[in-house]
Amino acid sequence: MRTTLSILFGLAALPALGQEAAPSLAAYPVRKFSVGVLGTYNALGIQADYRFTQRWGVKLAGVHQFGYERAAEYSRAGIGLLTYSLPTNFKLVEPVVGVGAVYTNYHWALAGGSGEVNDLNFGAGFGTNLRFTDRFRTGLNIFVVNGFRAGYQAGDMKVIDRQVRVFPALTLDFIL
């Protein structure tokens, strides 16, 4: 009986001991700079991220889109976002949101002619990175762009309509 009571009192004291000895969920140290790659179902790119404070930073990306119907067509984009890393209690998870600009260069080839359509417009992004170590993270990010639809008119390609485009992207970053 005495042993049973000792065991019960010992078990009752475990939560208090666990609270004192609980591992810290402190985040990995904030690193100022990272570089990496991003990919979607029809685009590949490189990206860089610079944090000028613990939460605020900028993300720059260059993307080449492929998979057009005509072989000589392609599109390239430059993305610049002001980013904010949302606070969290989990060491592994790094949610981030951003707003900024997107420059697009679309090269077309049709009916014996070719040319380019250039566009500068608004973009935004949000997503979650999973940080597995101090120097590596991967994530799923969504880029939302006020893109355009081009149409062939009078021997040239022109912007004929605006469309909100959504690009889910997988990212791999090496933190320097």
Instruction: Count how many Cα atoms sit within 13 Å of the Cα of residue 146 in the half-sphere of its side chain.
Output: 8
Does residue 94 contact residue 128 with C-beta atoms inside 8 Å? yes
Predicted pLDDT at 2? 52
3-state secondary structure of 134: coil
Tens-of-pLDDT digits for all 176 residues of the chain?
554 434 433 434 444 444 443 344 456 787 899 999 999 989 999 999 999 998 999 999 999 998 887 778 899 999 999 999 999 888 889 999 999 999 999 998 887 788 899 999 999 999 999 988 889 999 999 999 999 888 888 778 888 899 999 999 999 999 98
Query: Which domains occur in the chain, in start order?
Result: 31-175 (2.40.160.20)
Distance separating alpha carbons of residues 3 and 13, to the nearest angstrom: 15
Predicted pLDDT at 111? 72
- Select from 58, 139, 68 the least CA-distant residue to 98: 58
Predicted pLDDT at 138? 96
How far does CA 73 lie from the centroid of its chain?
A: 26
Return the DSSP state at 24: P
